[in-house]
Amino acid sequence: MISTKSIEIPKPSFSRILIVLATISSVLLINWFYFYDIAETYRYLNFNPKNEFNILGRFFFGFMACFPSLWLTTKTYRPSQAFLWIFYFIVYIPAVSFAPCTSLTSNFEITVLLLSLVSSILILHILSHIPLVSVSKPATSAPIFWSIVIFSLLLLLIYFSVSNHLSLSMPNLLDVYPLRKSFAAFLESSPKIVSYWVSTQANAINPLILICGLVHKRPLLIFFGIFGQFFIFVCSGMKSVLFSIVFILIVFALLKRKGNSFARFLSMGVAFSLAAIVFVGFFIDTSLLSAIFVRRVFVVPGIVTGFYHDFFSSHPLVLLSDGILSPFVPYEFPFDRGVPKLIGDTFIGKEDFHVNVHFLSNSFMHFGYLGMLFFSFIWGLISWFFDSLSRNQPLFLSGTFFCTISFSLANSGLLTSLLSHGILIAVLLFYFLPQHVVRAKEDGHA
Contact residues for 185 (Cβ-Cβ < 8 A; gap 6+): none
pLDDT of residue 441: 45
* pLDDT of residue 286 exceeding 70: no
pLDDT, mean over the chain: 88
Residue 20 lies in a domain: yes
Residue 279 lies in a domain: yes
Q: What is the mean pLDDT of residues 183-201?
A: 86
Residue 29 lies in a domain: yes
* Residue 137 identity: K
pLDDT per residue over 272-281, tens digit each?
999 998 888 7
* pLDDT of residue 157 exceeding 70: yes
Q: Percent of the chain, pLDDT > 70?
A: 91
* pLDDT of residue 198 exceeding 80: yes
Distance of alpha carbon 146 from alpha carbon 151, whole angstroms:
8
Distance of alpha carbon 87 from alpha carbon 95, whole angstroms:
11
Least confident of 164-168, 394-398, 420-424: 164-168
Best-predicted range by mean pLDDT among 77-86, 143-152, 164-173, 182-191? 77-86
Distance of alpha carbon 78 from alpha carbon 70, whole angstroms:
19
Q: How many domains does the chain have?
A: 1
Q: Percent of the chain, pLDDT > 90?
A: 56
Confidence of residue 423 (pLDDT cuts 50, 70, 90): very high
Residue 440 lies in a domain: no
Contact residues for 33 (Cβ-Cβ < 8 A; gap 6+): 274, 278, 290, 294, 295, 298, 299
Best-predicted range by mean pLDDT among 150-159, 283-292, 319-328? 150-159
Closest CA to 127 of 390, 377, 405: 377
* pLDDT of residue 352 exceeding 50: yes
Contact residues for 212 (Cβ-Cβ < 8 A; gap 6+): 218, 221, 397, 433, 437
* pLDDT of residue 243 exceeding 50: yes
Confidence of residue 50 (pLDDT cuts 50, 70, 90): confident
Exposed, middle or buried: residue 131 (CB in 10 Å: 0-12, 13-18, 19+)?
Answer: exposed
pLDDT of residue 11: 72
Q: Judge contact between 418 and 359, C-beta under 8 A.
A: no
* Residue 219 identity: P
Exposed, middle or buried: residue 314 (CB in 10 Å: 0-12, 13-18, 19+)?
Answer: exposed
Q: What is the pTM of this model?
A: 0.91
* pLDDT of residue 94 exceeding 80: yes
Exposed, middle or buried: residue 112 (CB in 10 Å: 0-12, 13-18, 19+)?
Answer: middle
pLDDT of residue 442: 42
Q: What is the mean pLDDT of residues 28-45?
A: 87
Sign of the C-alpha dihedral, residues 206, 210, 211, 213? positive
Confidence of residue 172 (pLDDT cuts 50, 70, 90): low
Residue 177 lies in a domain: no
pLDDT of residue 444: 40
pLDDT of residue 374: 97
Q: What is the mean pLDDT of residues 62-77?
A: 95
Confidence of residue 4 (pLDDT cuts 50, 70, 90): very low
pLDDT per residue over 199-241, tens digit each?
999 999 999 999 999 998 899 999 999 999 998 988 888 888 9
Closest CA to 343 of 306, 294, 389, 379: 306
Least confident of 40-44, 131-135, 312-316, 372-376: 40-44
Selected residue with higher pLDDT from 444 and 349: 349
pLDDT per residue over 297-311, tens digit each?
899 999 999 999 999
pLDDT of residue 440: 47
Residue 9 lies in a domain: no
C-alpha distances in Å from residue 140, one per residue of 113, 204, 235, 384, 397: 46, 18, 33, 23, 18
Residue 289 lies in a domain: yes
* pLDDT of residue 10 exceeding 70: no
Other C-beta atoms closer than 10 Å to the C-beta of 307 total: 21
pLDDT of residue 173: 65
Q: Judge contact between 409 and 417, C-beta under 8 A.
A: yes
Distance of alpha carbon 105 from alpha carbon 114, whole angstroms:
13
Domain that holds residue 267: 15-134+259-333+359-398
Q: Judge contact between 97 and 31, C-beta under 8 A.
A: yes
Residue 374 lies in a domain: yes
Selected residue with higher pLDDT from 238 and 250: 250
* pLDDT of residue 1 exceeding 50: no
C-alpha distances in Å from residue 411, one per residue of 161, 192, 319, 340: 29, 21, 19, 11
C-alpha distances in Å from residue 216, one per residue of 77, 144, 220, 274: 21, 18, 11, 33
* pLDDT of residue 12 exceeding 90: no
Q: What is the mean pLDDT of residues 403-431?
A: 93
Distance of alpha carbon 384 from alpha carbon 144, whole angstroms:
29
